[in-house]
Amino acid sequence: MTEILVSEVGPRDGLQSIDRVMSLEAKKAWIAAEAAAGVKEIEVGSFVPPSLLPQMADTAELVAFARTIPGLNVVALVPNAKGAARAVEAGVHAMSIPFSMSETHSLRNVRKDHPAMLAEIAEVAQIANAGGVHFAVGLSTAFGCTIEGAVSEEQVVRLAAAAAEAGAQEFSLSDTTGYADPAQVKRLIGKVRGAVGDKLTTLHLHNTRGLGLANALAGLEEGITTLDASLGGLGGCPYAPGASGNLVTEDLVLMLNSMGLKTGIDLAKLLEVRQILAEALPGEPLYGFTPDAGPMLDYNERIAPKESEA
């Protein structure tokens, strides 16, 4: 049975996109509850200056807490080498840096052009290697940009190859702006794999135009083994206008489990975690079809084999 890793990015990508700051205790409760539901990897925050994103000011404390949960892979986003050093010091298992394929978005998001970002990636790779931390690069705006429009696939391939040479251990293709379609997903996975091989493992998808699950399925058909998602569909990118709506974790897990793929996630327990968000962020919109409709009547029969038998 194929094993798919669902990486929860809500505590970072979700919370950075809303104005309110969730309390540290609520964040801890969220992370602990998702881990108890079987989620094996959580991006708990990002090491950016609190003056820019006060929502992420407690990331080091969250890393320390999450490290106490057995079997949980604790991940954080870093914007630069300074953030990487803080992440290693905090004790993350893995960290990722966003590398925008749109240079305009890169300048707006991290204030660096492509050559400067490649230099930064090389420096972060050295910090990660010295600290024994896994280092991934997220190829942001890989499918299009709300500022520039279309992004050349050849440019994505060229920059991915350069990032691999700079020391990236793993890659994700990120649909930061919700521009991707299934045919494009398949095509770009093939092209980037031609440059970096099996280092490309992950898709980070947004559901801005309702194509999130279709794009996820296209990725699975091309051998993608990790899918990022956010509980309740929280999230977007504060520096990409109109880029709302991460892939909804609950809907993704329903689809994967129903298909007989192994996630290790108990959907019923996962659905209960939404209550933590609803109480901590009253009035904040939470998305997803599964929470409203519930699983199919024959859902348990569709999961083959049952997790208890796997």
Task: Give catalytic residue positions.
Answer: 237
CB atoms within 10 A of CB 211: 21
d(Cα 13, Cα 11) in Å, to the nearest integer?
6
Assigned token pair, 208: 């801005």
Buried b or exposed e, range 80-117, using 16+ CB within 10 angstroms:
bbbbbbbbbebebbbbbbbbbbbbebbbbbbebebeeb
Distance of CA 169 to the CA centre of its chain: 16
Assigned token pair, 83: 């953030």
Q: Which residue in 149, 163, 260, 252 sits closest to 206, CA to CA? A: 252
CB atoms within 10 A of CB 6: 25
| Residue 71 neighbours by CB under 8 Å, 6+ apart | 35, 40
